Structure formats: structure tokens, C-alpha cells
Chain A
Amino acid sequence: MSGGEEVLFWVLAPLMVIAAAGLLVVRRAVHAAVCVVFVMIGLAVLYVAQEAPFLGIVQVVVYTGAVMMLFLFVLMLVGVDAADSLTETIRGQRWIGVLLGLGLAAVLLGVVAQATFPPSVGLEQANAVTNPVALARVLLGEYVVAMEVVGILLVTAALAGLVLTHRRRLGKKPTQRALAEAKVALLPTGRHLTPLPAPGVYAQNNAMDTPALGPDGRPLDHSVPRVLRIRGQQRSATELLTAEETLVERRQGSDDVAPARSDRPEEETR
């Protein structure tokens, strides 16, 4: 083992352990996914350093590229802000879990420390015909049956994924006409035929979280996107309007040159 590899290991290993420990403590599932991606890329670098360049590339392509992206897709599907609840349903589960984890670490580290390993041979001889070729000779020579079985497994898994996530359509597919008629039928209950109004445009503020004003001057709550309303991030129009009123008054007080501006505050900025 060369000095460069030693430096690489001691730089990467603590970072990877920290990222893996982050999996235990972070609240949001997306952050956990980022931690796992970091660990996996670190492992890919270590594989390349360990004379396994093919596995290093496959690690990046398959794990970081495909598997973790699949995880992120499912996270989006399930809801990104699905934070873990930290209340314990089984009493003392956390401490028992930590204890078991520490015990497992102690056992594994103890076994590795106790075992005597032969002097390292290195892969120079095995990798003489380049690593991918050497791998392919073993894979398609000795293990060709296992390779075929793994192929069957992959096809089965793809089919299983299709079958499990398939949803049968229960009713007939609605036509455009039916959709339009349903919309018209809902009109008496306060629905709109037209698109919803866009969120408000004011002199100081042109943000998604402020409601637009209707023709009667009252704020239209449904102009704010539904997600912001559910999260409670909506701002009230009145506070903005009063802020603008005071601004207009202050400007009028400072310079009386442009009194006409006060009744058109919307066009005041830029």
C-alpha cells in the first residue's frame, strides 16, 4: 500500500463514517439520501484505489446513479416533507437499538482484530490483462450459470415492480366533454370555469405568497398556491396594503412634486 493511498483512506474514511452516522440522526429522508450518496461515492473512490476500477465505475453508475435516484423518486412520490416522528412507540427502543448497534460493532471489530491475515498479495498479477477483462474471464467462465440466474432475477424483479405499482382503472376514462360538463355542474358550489387568478402584484411585493385583489378590492385567497396555504406561509394582503399606504404617505411628505403617484401605487416601482 502506497503513501498516497494511505492519505486517501484517512481523508475519506472519517468523512464516510460521519456521513453514515448522519443517516441515524437527520430528520428528513432527503438528507439521509444525500448522506448515503456521499458514502457510496466514497466507496467508489476506495474501490478504484483498491485495484478494482470496474467495480468503482459500476458503484457510481448503479448505486449512486440508479439506486439512489430511485430512492429520491420514491421520496418525491411519498412526500418530501415526511419527517420522521421521534416519539417512541416501544419504550426504550432507542437505547436498546443503540446498545445492539454498539454490540454489533464491537463483535465485528473484535473479530477483525483477532483474525490473522496472510500477507497481502495484491492484484498486479490477476489484473495483468486489465481489471475488466480479468473480471469478465472469471464471471463468464466459472460463474456463467450464476450470471444467467442473476439475469432471470433482474427480469423477474422488473416485472414485480411493474405488477406491484400497477393500478387498474376502475371506471371509464373521462372524455373532455364529460370533464367540461362536470366543471359547469360544479359552478353553483362556487367553483370557477376560468383559471384561478394569479397571486398579487403590489408596488413593493410581487411574490407567490400574497393574494391578489379582486375587482372589489378584497383579497382573493384562492389566488395563492394551495401548497403555501396548507403550510400556512400565506401573507395577508392587508398588512402589505397598510405598509404601502404608509410608504406613499411618507413619500408625499418628503416631496410634494408628484402627488399624482399616490393613486396609482402599482406603477411606482421600476
Chain B
Amino acid sequence: MDLVNYLYLASILFALGATTVLLRRNAIVVFMGIELMLNATNLALVTFARMHGDITGQVLAFFVMVVAAAEVVVGLAIIVTIFRARRSASVDDVNLLKS
């Protein structure tokens, strides 16, 4: 087995996360799909770090984690605010600008 298998796994997880974002309507589940994509990217970064013998890849994965944590805080706060105003967490109900 080669290290490439990790990259295949990362690709599949990324595609599944992207499909989740496209298909689901609950804003929280859509957000989980985004988290899945970020995690898949991290797996690819860690694999590249090992492949090249350079620890910078792991540092980059670390930064991705920190930024993802900040993103989750803001995103969930926005979802809570929208839920308070509209009583719904469905992305289809947020169509204030429509017509």
C-alpha cells in the first residue's frame, strides 16, 4: 500500500462533504458538510507532509483547524440569529430577497 491511498480517502470524503452541502436543507447539516470538507483537506495536508518529509504541511493543517474553529463560532451564531428571527433552520426558508 502506498501513501496515495490516504489521498484517495481524502478525495472521497471531500466529495461527500460537497454533496452534503448541495443536497441537504438544514443549515446545520450543511455546515457539517463544510466541516467534513475541511477535515478531508487536513488529511491530504498531513499525508503530503509525510510524503515530502517536511513538517510544514502539519503546520498548515493546524492553521486550517484554528480558522475552522473561528468559522464555526461565527457560522453557528448566524444560524442561531436567523433561527430566532425566522423560526427555521432550513436554508430554503431564507428567501427574503426573492420577489
> Are A and B genuine complex partners?
yes
On A, residues with C-beta under 8 Å from B are: 1, 6, 9-10, 13, 16-17, 20-21, 23-24, 29, 32-33, 36, 39-40, 43, 46-47, 50-52, 54-55, 58-59, 62-63, 66-67, 70-71, 74-75, 77-78, 82, 84-85, 89, 93-94, 96-98, 100-102, 104-105, 108-109, 112, 117-118, 120-123, 125-127, 131, 134-135, 138-139, 142-143, 146, 150, 153-154, 156-158, 160-161, 164-165, 167
Report which residue of B25, B52, B53, B92 has the largest number of chain A beta carbons within 10 angstroms of its beta carbon.
B53
Interface of B with A (CB < 8 Å)? Answer: 1-9, 11-20, 22-26, 28-29, 31-33, 35-36, 39, 42-43, 46-47, 49-56, 58-59, 61-63, 65-74, 76-81, 83-84, 89-90, 92
Give the number of residue pairs across the A-B interface with Cβ within 8 Å: 231
In the complex, what residues of A have CB within 8 A of residue B7's CB?
A: 112
Choice from A70, A75, A101, A125 contacting B19 with Cβ under 8 Å: A101
Contacts of B31 in A (CB 8 A): 71
**Are B39 and A63 within 8 A (Cβ)?**
yes
Chain A proximity of B96: nearest CB distance (Å): 15
Nearest to A44 among chain B residues (CB) is B39
Knowing A17-B16, A74-B79 touch, does A135 contact B24 (C-beta < 8 A)? no
Contacts of B19 in A (CB 8 A): 24, 97-98, 100-101, 104
Please tell me which one of the listed residues B8, B39, B52, B69 contacts residue A112 in the complex, with CB atoms under 8 A apart. B8
- Taking CB atoms, residues of chain A closer than 8 Å to B62 are 55, 58, 135, 139
Is A138 within 8 A of B55, CB to CB?
yes
Main secondary structure of the interface of B (DSSP, over half): helix
Q: Which chain A residues border B6 with CB–CB below 8 Å?
A: 9, 46, 50
Min CB distance A6 to B, Å, is 5
Given contacts A71-B32, A123-B49, contact A24 B63 (CB under 8 A): no
Among residues of A, the one whose C-beta sits closest to the C-beta of B7 is A112
- CB contact between A16 and one of B13, B32, B69, B78 (< 8 Å): that residue: B13
- The answer on a CB contact under 8 Å between A50 and B59 is no
Distance of A86 Cα from B22 Cα, bound (Å): 13
| Residue from B9, B18, B67 having most chain A Cβ neighbours under 10 A | B9
